[in-house]
Amino acid sequence: MSLVLDLLGTFFFAISGSLLAARRGFDIIGSLLLGSLTGLGGGVVRDLILGVKPTAFANPAYLAAPLVAAVLVFFLSGPVTRLPRTLLVFDAGGLALFCVTGAVKALDLGANPVEAALLGVTTAVGGGLMRDVVANRDPQLFDPHDLYAVPAMLGAAVIVVVWLVGAYNPWTATAVAALVFGVRILSLRFKWHVPLAAVTRHTKGTP
Amino acid sequence: MSLVLDLLGTFFFAISGSLLAARRGFDIIGSLLLGSLTGLGGGVVRDLILGVKPTAFANPAYLAAPLVAAVLVFFLSGPVTRLPRTLLVFDAGGLALFCVTGAVKALDLGANPVEAALLGVTTAVGGGLMRDVVANRDPQLFDPHDLYAVPAMLGAAVIVVVWLVGAYNPWTATAVAALVFGVRILSLRFKWHVPLAAVTRHTKGTP
Amino acid sequence: MSLVLDLLGTFFFAISGSLLAARRGFDIIGSLLLGSLTGLGGGVVRDLILGVKPTAFANPAYLAAPLVAAVLVFFLSGPVTRLPRTLLVFDAGGLALFCVTGAVKALDLGANPVEAALLGVTTAVGGGLMRDVVANRDPQLFDPHDLYAVPAMLGAAVIVVVWLVGAYNPWTATAVAALVFGVRILSLRFKWHVPLAAVTRHTKGTP
């Protein structure tokens, strides 16, 4: 079950990567590679930190997700991407699923609760951060106009508690992911945000 | 033999990193570091995914390559880099050698054919991607005007087949690398390309 | 003792990350995340290369540093960050401590002297490089107007020698870190620099 959610998260993030590739004028192979990096990057970092073989390279099913995503974006991008928020919605889906599956994988491998929650957040925000960095774009993760890491932190913390009290199952996992997705989307819609990094905002300057 | 090809690939990529450093006005130490990242980065990621100690840190010969590259660029950059394509040629040499040596190292360590081909491509494109990202430049990997990942994918797939049929040896390895190099250079010369990520090209927009 | 210096380095780098977040207009969570990446990123890469569990995820004390840094920057950023060099000073503190603690950790785990020095430099420059890359800013590491990697290389080399002759203790470690800090700050003040990457400087051009 966790595998299904993880593959779905991979697929959603891969779609976001391929959509960004389309928007930036990359070719179909660039779309496949940016989708792969987005969909698989966070999980690879999590697995390296956990000291296990990255699933993305061990299970071929993980490679199908970016392939399907790149093909779909190639053929459907007209109608789909004309809606400006499409990329953000798929990205939110990946974020929601990965904070859950990332934390649960860490717990399954014996991580303590704090580490598991951190790895859930790392998995959730890692792929999108790599996508934005290699595509030379200001990362969504640092956009102060809405909440990005906060719903992932919330979801990772909640699923760790759910797992600790023995209530983890496909339904609770899906419910937590839906909560994260909802908070992320609502924060975009209603411009929910947290305070800036500094009480006194500074202008961008050297150095 | 694989070591010789791998060191040569490291050297070629290191030259491309040092040439970019020269072009960007970095100093000689920045040249050494950017050359090291370019030459060693892809292999370090491959080795971490394979779960082995990165050779770049275990074998001092790998450190000599970026040192020599930085010194050569320092003294020869006038005549060499005035040819605008020099960086691209060295980068193509690294790409050609690393898709072969990366895949073969994975096979030697017991990876399955698909994983080995993927790791060959990762090794080949990883260093150049890191180079372009840290130097704050649109990655060559995503340039839609020529083929970059495609020849590496081709080379990794071919060498895996060659290895599986028991025909891997220094000559076949060199032949496959030459094929990859040729395709890459011809794609630059004749602007070979693949279709864009989306049928309908979109303008760059927010977000 | 090494732990104290390492935590202090984490804290200094985290401050530099949170200050950059403030300057770029990120929110408080972006400040926490950029501080965490800066403070913990170099050590995570070092530990992955060494094949050990990253301490950042194993010891909760390492998480306290970016938390405290983000809170401090939030409340104190007015008076502190108005001094334009504040970020550079904290960054220099992290650099000085991490080239020492990174090299010593590698030596403790059985690395040879060359590898230990390299990992000291990697630890020292890694976090700041990641900070600048994800914040979409030209890396300090490549700024040719002062010395950044050079003092870290010096410090890593010196501490390896100190360790080899059996003179490593809290006082010598602190002295080497102070030396690195001093060289870095003096290079900023007096614009010490090394030659450019190429004798003939080239203009930035495509590609």
pLDDT tens track for C16-32? 999 999 989 999 999 99
How does pLDDT run across B58-89, given as a tens digit for each residue? 888 899 999 999 999 998 866 656 666 889 99
Residue A29 is nearest to which of B49, B114, B194, comparing CB atoms?
A: B194
Higher pLDDT, C76 or B142: B142
Whether A156 has a pLDDT exceeding 90, the answer reads yes
What pLDDT score does A202 carry? 46
For the segment B154-180, the average pLDDT, to the nearest whole number, is: 97
A136/B141 CB distance under 8 A: no
Judged by phi (left if over 0) then psi (alpha if -120 to 50, else beta), residue B25 lies in left
What does chain C look like in DSSP terms, one character per residue? -HHHHHHHHHHHHHHHHHHHHHHTT-BHHHHHHHHHHHHHHHHHHHHHHHTS--HHHH-THHHHHHHHHHHHHHHHHHHHHTSTTHHHHHHHHHHHHHHHHHHHHHHHTT--HHHHHHHHHHHHHHHHHHHHHHTT---GGG-TTS-SHHHHHHHHHHHHHHHHTT--SHHHHHHHHHHHHHHHHHHHHHT----BSSSS-------
Spatial distance between the Cα atoms of A144 and B75, rounded to a whole number of angstroms: 47
Six-digit token string for A129: 């951060």
> pLDDT class for C204, splitting at 50, 70, 90?
very low
Kindly list the partner chains of chain B, i.e. chains with 3 or more CB atom pairs below 8 Å. Answer: A, C
Confidence of residue C81 (pLDDT cuts 50, 70, 90): low
DSSP state string for chain A: -HHHHHHHHHHHHHHHHHHHHHHTT-BHHHHHHHHHHHHHHHHHHHHHHHTS--HHHH-THHHHHHHHHHHHHHHHHHHHHTSTTHHHHHHHHHHHHHHHHHHHHHHHTT--HHHHHHHHHHHHHHHHHHHHHHTT---GGG-TTS-SHHHHHHHHHHHHHHHHTT--SHHHHHHHHHHHHHHHHHHHHHT----BSSSS-------
**CB < 8 Å to C40, chain A:** none
**Which residues, in sequence order, are CB contacts of A190 under 8 Å at separation 6+?**
none
Rounded Cα distance between A124 and C200, Å, is 45
Please, which pLDDT band fits residue B197 given cuts at 50, 70 and 90? confident
At C83, the pLDDT band (50, 70, 90 cuts) reads low
Count of A-C CB contacts under 8 Å: 103
CB C46 within 8 A of CB A49: no
Sequence letter at residue A3: L
Q: Is C53 on the interface with A (CB under 8 A)?
A: yes
* CA-only gyration radius of chain A, Å: 17
Q: Is C44 on the interface with A (CB under 8 A)?
A: yes
**B82 Cα to chain A: minimum distance (Å):** 27
Beta-carbon separation of A193 and C18 below 8 A: no
Q: Using one digit for the tens of pLDDT, what is the confidence trace for B29-60?
A: 999 999 999 999 999 999 999 999 998 888 88
Q: Do B22 and C204 touch (CB under 8 A)?
A: no
CA–CA gap between residue B89 and residue A99 (Å, rounded) = 42
Which residues pair with residue B92 across a beta bridge? Answer: none
Q: Residue C62: which pLDDT band, with cuts at 50, 70 and 90?
A: very high
- Residue C27 contacts residue C82 (beta carbons within 8 Å): no
The model's pTM is: 0.93
Q: Which residue of A142, A153, A199 is in closest CB contact with C30?
A: A142
Whole-angstrom distance, CA of residue B186 vs CA of residue B174: 18
Mutating which of C15, C20, C23, C32 best tests the A interface, going by the most A Cβ atoms within 10 A? C23
CA nearest C45 in A: which residue?
A49
User: Does B157 lie at the interface with C, CB-CB under 8 angstroms?
Assistant: no
Banded pLDDT at A123 (limits 50, 70, 90): very high
- B8 φ, ψ (degrees, to nearest 5): -65, -40
Put simply, the answer to whether C199 touches B74 (Cβ < 8 Å) is yes
Mean pLDDT value across residues C62-75:
94
pLDDT in tens, C101-127: 999 999 999 999 999 999 999 999 999
